[in-house]
Amino acid sequence: MADGAQLAQAWDRAQILSLFDPATGRLDRRVLSDEGLYRLELERIFARGWNFMCHESQLKEPGEYLVSYIGEDQIIVVRDEDGQVNAMLNTCRHRGNALCRAEQGRAKSFVCSYHGWNYALDGRLIGVPGQKTFYHDDLDRSRLGLRRARVESYLGFYFATLAEDAPSLHDYLGETGRTGIGMMCANGEVEVVEGVQKNVIDCNWKIAVDNLFDWYHVPYSHASANTAGFLDVARIQFPKSQMVMLGEYGHAIGGPVIPQDAQDQIDQLNDEQRAEMSRAQPEGSPRIRPRQATELMGQAGVRSHGHPNIFPNLWVTISGTQMCLRLPRGPSHTELWWFTLVPKAAPPAAKREIIRRMNHVFGPAGLLEQDDGENWSQSTRSARGLASRDLGQHIQMGIGHDEVRTNDRGEHYIEGLISEHGQRWLYRAWTEWMVARDWAELTANHSRPPVGVI
C-alpha cells in the first residue's frame, strides 16, 4: 500500500481543507488510509498536542517509571527524587538505543544497554564509560541529556508535549477539556487500578475516536450485550436527551444528559441526599454527582454523562470511570490502552465491584468492545479500496437542526436528539491542526465553538 510515490505525496493546504466539508459532513476516506496524511498527523497533531501520559497514582515513589507514547515516539515518564514527573524520549543520545525496554518499573538512573551511557531521572547525562580515555575528556555531557518533553498536569492527570510553543495545558484543555478531566474527579479523588489492558486493532485511530461520540451505534452494535443481560441499552442511551459540548482545538463531549429541570431538583439536595438517590436507582444508572462536581464540570457539563475526548486521543468513558488512549500505529493500526479509575476513599469491596464490572465492558474481551473492533477494522479496510474510498464517509446527522447555547462560564453545548455534531467537530479540528504550520498559526486560525444554529 505504502509505495514510494504515495509516501512522497505532499498535501498542501487547499487539498487538506478539501478533505472534510463541515457543511455537508462529507469526509474523504483517504483521511483514514493515506500514508502521507498519517506522517503529517504524527508531526502536526501528536508531536504538537498535549498527550496523556499517566495519572499521578501510577507513579507513587521516586524512581517509578512507565513508558508511554507521543505518536510513535516512546516516552519515559518518571518521578524523580524531588517528586517531579519528567517525560523524556526513550532514546540514548549516542546511538539511539531504547533505555527502557520494560513498560514500567523502578530505576535509580537509566543506563543504556549498548555502551553504558547513564542518565539521571531528570534526563541529565551523568556517566559515559571512557569519557577520559576514549573521549579525551572533550565530550560536553551537558548538551547530551535525554530530549525532554514539556510536562504539565491537571487534577493529577499528566500530559506531555514535544512542542516548545504549545500553550499551557490549562489553556489547551479549555473549558471542555477541563470538564472532561473533571468528570473523572467529580465524585472525589481517584486512583488508577493496577493493570492497563492493551491491544491492537486494525483500524485508523480516528475511526476509534469518531466512535466515542457515536451513541447511534449502541443499540445495534451492542445488541448482543443487551440480549445477554450485561447492558441495558434503554437505561444508558437516552436517545432523546443528549448533549454535545464543543471546545477549542477539537475537544468535545457527547452523550446522555440529565435534563435541566431534573438537575434543578438535584441542585436542591445535599451530598448525603444525592448519595441516597444514587443508591435507590437501578444498577448501571449514572451516579448523581455531589455538589463539588459543578465547580469542576460547569453548570452544563455537570449534567453530562457522555463521552469526553481530549483531543486528539484520550477518551474518558463510563461517566469518568475509565480512560482509553488510542495510540496511532500507522494509518491502519491503533493500539488501545484501557485505564480504570476508582475513588481513593472507597472501601475495598466497593473498589472490587467497580473493577470487576470494568473488566467486562471494554478491553479486547469486553462484552461491548468485542463488537466495536471489527466494525472499525472493516471501515478502515474500505478506505483502502480505490472505488470504495471515493464514496466518502457520511457524517450528516443533525446538521441544521440544533442550536449551540453558551453561558457565563463559556460552556458551549447542544441539547437534543442523537446527532453527529461531535464527530464533525472532531474532523473540522483535524483539518485545522493539519494545515497549521506551527502553534501560532493554529492559535490564530482554529475554530472557536460557535453560538446559534449548527
Q: Of 80 and 335, which CB lies nearer to other proteins in the complex structure?
A: 335
From 27-35, 220-228, 390-398, 439-447, give the range in contact with other proteins by CB under 8 A. Answer: 220-228
> With CB under 8 A as the contact rule, which of the stretches 126-134, 155-163, 240-248, 361-369 interacts with other proteins?
361-369
Q: Among residues 367, 426, 434, 442, which is the contact residue for other proteins, using CB under 8 A?
A: 367
Tell the smallest beta-carbon distance from residue 190 to other proteins (Å).
14
Asked whether position 358 contacts other proteins by CB under 8 A, the answer is yes
3-state secondary structure the chain: CCCHHHHHCCCCHHHHHCCEECCCCEECHHHHCCHHHHHHHHHHHHCCCCEEEEEHHHCCCCCEEEEEEECCEEEEEEECCCCCEEEEECCCCCCCCCCCCCCEEECCCEECCCCCCEECCCCCEEECCCCCCCCCCCCCHHHCCCCEEEEEEECCEEEEECCCCCCCHHHHHHHHHHHHHHHHHCCCCEEECCCCEEEEECCCHHHHHHHHCCCCCHHHHCHHHHHCCCCCHHHHCCCCCEEEEECHHHCEEEEEECCHHHHHHHHCCCHHHHHHHHHHCCCCCCCCCCCHHHHHHCCCHHHECCEEEECCCEEEEHHHCEEEEEEECCCCCEEEEEEEEEECCCCHHHHHHHHHHHHHHCCCCCCCHHHHHHHHHHHHHHCCCHHHHCCCEECCCCCCCCEEEECCCCCEEEEECCCCHHHHHHHHHHHHHHHCCCHHHHHHHCCCCCCEEC
Chosen residue from 101, 344, 394, 401 binding other proteins by CB under 8 A: 101
Distance CA 266, CA 186 (A): 15
By CB under 8 A, how many residues form the interface with other proteins?
44
Nearest approach, Cβ of residue 425 and other proteins (Å): 27
Q: Does 359 bind other proteins (CB under 8 A)?
A: yes
Q: Which of 42, 97, 131, 230 binds other proteins (CB under 8 A)?
A: 230
Single residue of 338, 413, 425, 430 touching other proteins by CB under 8 A: 338
Kindly indicate which of the ranges 43-51, 274-282, 296-304, 365-373 contains the residues binding other proteins, using the contact rule CB under 8 A.
Answer: 365-373
Residue from 201, 212, 293, 341 touching other proteins (CB under 8 A): that is: 201
Half-sphere exposure of 308 (CA within 13 A, CB side): 27
* 218 binding other proteins? (CB under 8 A): no
Q: Name the residue nearer to other proteins (CB basis): 52 or 338.
A: 338
Of residues 139-198, those binding other proteins (CB under 8 A): 193-198
Candidate residues 103, 264, 390, 441; the one interacting with other proteins per rule CB under 8 A: 103
CB of 44 or CB of 79, closer to other proteins: 79
Binds other proteins (CB under 8 A): choice among 9, 15, 131, 221: 221
Please report whether residue 108 would count as binding other proteins according to CB under 8 A.
Answer: no
Nearer to other proteins, 257 or 336 (CB): 336
Q: Which residues within the stretch 372-401 sit at the binding site for other proteins (CB under 8 A)?
A: 373-375, 377
- Which of 1, 24, 84, 106 binds other proteins (CB under 8 A)? It is 106
- Among 331, 363, 398, 422, which residue sits at the site for other proteins (rule: CB under 8 A)? 363
Residue 126 or 355 having the CB closest to other proteins = 355
Q: How many CA atoms lie within 13 A of 172 on its CB side?
A: 25
Residues binding other proteins (CB under 8 A): 101-106, 193-202, 221, 223-225, 227-230, 335, 338, 340, 352, 355-356, 358-360, 363-365, 367, 369-371, 373-375, 377
